[in-house]
Chains A and B, each alone.
Chain A
Amino acid sequence: MSAISIKNLDVLFGFQTAKSLALLDQGASRQEIIDATGDVVGVHDVSLDIKKGEICVLMGLSGSGKSSLLRAINGLNTVTRGSLTIEDGDQPIDLASCDKAALRHLRTNRISMVFQKFALMPWLSVLDNAAFGLEMQGIAKAERRRLAEETLELVGLAEWKDNFPHELSGGMQQRVGLARAFTMDSDVLLMDEPFSALDPLIRTQLQDELLELQRKLNKTIVFVSHDLDEALKLGNKIAIMESGRVIQHGRPEDIVLNPKTEYVREFVAHTNPLNVLCGRSLMTETSELKTQNDKLVLSEYDQSYIEVNHLKQVVSVTRGNKLLPLHRWQEGDNIESLSKDSQVIAPADVSMREGLEIRYRTGLPVLLADEGVLVGVLADNDFYHALLGKHFSYEASA
């Protein structure tokens, strides 16, 4: 079920929006509309479904409309046309038509926000900042402080609760921002470039912490970023925006493997494939392997062959006339302890980084299986192709 569903959304800033919408429908560009009416098009014709428990990253250069879209979700920007519905019990609320009371209900109970520049109240202690949202709900001081203390514990700032924001480092201040959002116990979290004001080391650390917290709390997160590596690391889904439109929306891998336009391709060009790609998208499929004497040929040079049964499960792997020990590797298993010349069978969605490491440790190609069934092989050629950026010829199966 979608937590947030957006249909044909337009967000315009200005005073002649009716006229601007007509121009927009005639295909006028953003600049033409500014010249004609003075209105600025923030978001144009965006349709997006964000599922419960998903991290959706809105990605784009500055001015692409990603922040405008994010701010429409909690009504900081008003919807000019289209619909933006937030799930709320069994009665979804449409921000395009809801009244002030419904909007306040959404903001106090359903949606919290984390800001790029932290936006902490300088006159409140860390504890009272974390409790700020509850104060807006009108919850008594002792109760809200108790709840805020729990979330401060969660972000590791319990000892700092009596300090003031200006006494904290940037990374710690943003943790207070996170705590303030988490204290609300709302399901939807909006994050507007929350880590971009931090230095790279702290940024990575907070990204990891966010993923860790997300594992525990399972919120629906809409995250704005202009950094593709961050988007690929955090996002279950990525929506790439340009000039107010979403030009590609999909899983991180799909974006990297099949950039739809030149704009996306340029974004993707500088990413490190090790972090994004998984074995399935690099491998040589089983059907492409040659067969010889009912055995699949792994390498003619090494004279290594794979024997599979009728269910396509691997029975044995031989090299020359030597039988290789089979090792079934799972996500999370130690790679360093793999011995040389043991034949690893890994899940098909093993990351490229781990695949490469296994190949390095064992000195052998990696067999990929999906629920026991051999689906493909990762050999040196496949890795070289990926590293040289030739992986986008692959057609996404999802």
Chain B
Amino acid sequence: MDFITEHKIPLGEWMAIFVDWLTYSAAGFFDSVSYTLESVIMFLVELFKWFPPSVPIVVTALLAWFLHRSISLVVFIVAALLLIMNLGYWEEMLETLVLVLSATTISLLVGVPIGIVAAHKPWLYTILRPILDLMQTIPTFVYLIPTLVLFGLGVVPGLISTIIFAIAAPIRLTYLGVSRVPAELVEAGKAFGASRLKLLLKVELPAAMPNIMAGVTQCIMLSLSMVVIAALVGADGLGKPVVRALNTVNIAQGFEAGLAIVLVAIILDRLCKSPASQSKEG
């Protein structure tokens, strides 16, 4: 068995060489991506911070009312946001929110079209499936290292890692939704002379909407679960106090920051739950 241990396959080195080559040959590209994303996120964070806290609270409460018509939800959201403010994590909460929403937006913009194409081309999904499995199972820290090298310290490697982790959900669920549109609805569309585009926009997407919305909610939740890891590479937000608490064994700070993350998660989840799927059950 000595032979096996003596002749190690240099898989790791090959990967390192590949990343080095990327850094070297496409440094300009990665730098500009990093710079653009960082500026956009910074701008959004500054924008949110510019409003007095009462504005986001009222807007969220109104949104909750119009989407779900539930007084208890509105009361809960207002109370939760006030508690976060009271704990002193208002700005961190905004930073986290911007990170989560940016990651979700990018994931959806890329993931939904990929899911739609995959639903129409089974061979593409055959290729995609192992890649998606890989992206969801490979430990986050492993790809945190190359993203750190490529994009430098800060919010962007956190964002990219979040997207890698979260994008599988909208792809899978869009694929699922579109490929499971009842055959008779597609036939009805065709029989009434729908063009391919109309068939997609007027039949397939509306029929797949519940699944796609589930993909959105999942994507948000997965992004939120990456907040602490993103903080490790320098992204601002609620992850930072958690990391700091871990390093200083500060139970009080850890609990409070963790509670704030949970509250944000609950608010986003309740807001995104599709009202349509609830009314259908009734």
Interface residues of A (CB under 8 A from B): 74, 76, 104-109, 111-113, 115, 117, 119-123, 132-133, 135-137, 166, 180, 184, 190
Q: How far is the CB of B212 from chain A (nearest CB, A)?
A: 13
Q: Which chain A residues lie closer than 8 Å to B206 at the CB level?
A: 121, 123
Closest to A104 in B: B193
List, in ascending order, chain B residues with CB within 8 A of A190's CB. 191
Complex CA gap A74/B191 in Å reads 7
Q: Is the CB of A121 within 8 A of B207?
A: yes
Are A119's CB and B184's CB within 8 A? Answer: yes
Q: Give the chain A neighbours of B184 by CB distance below 8 A.
A: 115, 117, 119
Are A113 and B193 touching (Cβ within 8 A)?
no
Per the bound structure, the CA–CA distance linking A119 and B207 in Å amounts to: 12
Q: With A135-B202, A136-B198, A136-B202 as given contacts, are A119 and B185 in contact (CB-CB < 8 Å)?
A: yes
| Interface size classification for chain B | 10 to 19
Assuming A115-B184, A121-B185, A136-B198, is B207 touching A107 (CB within 8 A)? no
Q: CA separation between A104 and B193, bound complex, in Å?
A: 5
Q: Given the complex of chains A and B, what is the CA–CA distance between A104 and B192 in angstroms?
A: 8
Residues of A within 8 A of B193 (CB): 104-109, 133, 136-137
Contact between chains at A76 and B188 (CB < 8 Å): no
Q: Are B188 and A119 in contact (CB under 8 A)?
A: yes
Q: Is the CB of A108 within 8 A of B192?
A: yes
Give 7 A-B contacts (CB < 8 Å), ordered by A residue: A76-B191, A106-B193, A115-B187, A120-B188, A123-B207, A136-B194, A137-B193
Contact A136-B187, Cβ < 8 Å, known A121-B206, A121-B207:
no
If A76-B187, A119-B184, A123-B209 touch, does A104 touch B195 (CB 8 Å cutoff)?
yes
Residues of chain A contacted by B280 (CB below 8 angstroms) = 166
Interface of B is mostly: helix
For A113, give its contact among B185, B188, B194 (CB under 8 Å): B188
Closest to A103 in B: B193
Residues 237-282 of B at the A interface (beta carbon under 8 Å):
280
CB closest chain-A residue, reference B196: A100
Q: Does B189 touch A at the CB level, under 8 Å?
A: yes
Question: Contacts of B209 on A, CB cut-off 8 Å?
Answer: 123
CB atoms of A115 and B207 under 8 A apart: no
B189, B193, B195, B203: which has the most chain A beta carbons within 10 Å?
Answer: B193
User: Is there a chain A Cβ closer than 8 Å to B129's Cβ?
Assistant: no
Top-5 shortest CB links A-B:
A108-B193, A107-B193, A119-B188, A119-B184, A133-B192
Q: Does B192 contact A115, Cβ atoms closer than 8 Å?
A: no
Residue of B nearest to A133 (CB): B192
Q: How far is the CB of B27 from chain A (nearest CB, A)?
A: 48
Q: Give the CA-CA distance A41 to B267 in the complex, in Å.
A: 57
Which residues of chain B come closer than 8 Å to A122, judged between CB atoms? 207
Quick check: B191 and A113 within 8 Å, CB to CB?
A: yes
Closest partner residue, chain A, to B191 (CB atom):
A113
Q: Find chain B residues with CB under 8 A from A115 CB.
A: 184, 187-188
Residues of B within 8 A of A111 (CB): 191
- Docked pose: A77 CA to B15 CA in angstroms: 51
Interface code B176-194, partner A: CB below 8 Å = 1, 0 otherwise?
0000001011011111111
Residue in B182, B192, B207 whose CB lies within 8 Å of A136: B192
Interchain CA distance A82-B203 in the complex, whole Å: 32
Chain A residue, CB-CB nearest to B280: A166
A240 to chain B, nearest CB (A): 25
Compute how far the CA of A254 lies from the CA of B189 in the bound complex, rounded to whole angstroms. 38
A82 to B187, alpha carbons, bound, how many Å?
A: 24
Those of B24-67 within 8 Å (CB) of chain A: none
The answer for the CA separation of A106 and B192 in the assembled complex, in Å, is 9
Query: For residue A166, which residues in chain B have a CB less than 8 angstroms away from its CB?
Result: 280
Q: Shortest CB–CB separation between residue A386 and chain B, in angstroms?
A: 42
Contacts of A109 in B (CB 8 A): 193
Give the interface centre of A117, A123, A136 by most chain B CB atoms within 10 Å.
A136
- B230, chain A: closest CB distance, angstroms: 37
CA distance A105 to B189 in the complex (A): 14
Given the known inter-chain contacts A121-B203, A121-B207, please indicate yes or no for A132 contacting B192, CB distance below 8 A: yes
Contacts of A113 in B (CB 8 A): 188, 191-192
Given contacts A123-B206, A123-B209, A136-B198, contact A107 B185 (CB under 8 A): no
Tell me the bound Cα distance from A136 to B186 in angstroms.
Answer: 13
> Distance (Å) between the CB of B74 and the closest chain A CB?
27
Kindly list chain B residues whose C-beta atoms are within 8 Å of the C-beta of A136.
Answer: 189, 192-195, 198, 202
Residues in A with CB closer than 8 Å to B185 are: 119, 121
Which residues from chain A contact B188 at a C-beta distance below 8 Å? 113, 115, 119-121, 132
Q: Is the Cβ of A107 less than 8 Å from the Cβ of B192? A: yes
Q: List the A residue with the shortest CB-CB distance to B192.
A: A133
* CB-defined contacts of A121 to chain B, threshold 8 Å: 185, 188, 203, 206-207
Closest to A74 in B: B191
In the assembled complex, which residues on chain B have CB atoms less than 8 Å from the CB atom of A106?
A: 193
Residues of A within 8 A of B192 (CB): 107-108, 112-113, 132-133, 136, 180, 184
Q: How far is the CA of A166 from the CA of B276 in the complex (A)?
A: 13
> Smallest CB-CB separation from B182: which chain A residue?
A119
Which residues does chain A contribute within 8 Å of B207, judged by CB atoms? 121-123
Knowing that A115-B184, A123-B206, A132-B202 touch, tell me 14 more A-B residue pairs with CB under 8 angstroms: A106-B193, A107-B191, A108-B192, A108-B193, A111-B191, A112-B191, A113-B191, A119-B187, A121-B203, A121-B206, A132-B188, A132-B192, A133-B193, A136-B192
Q: Chain B: which residue is nearest A184 at the CB level?
A: B192
* Distance to closest chain A CB from B184 (angstroms): 4
- Bound together, the chains give a CA A115 to CA B186 distance in angstroms of 12
Whole-angstrom CA separation of A261 from B118 in the bound complex: 50
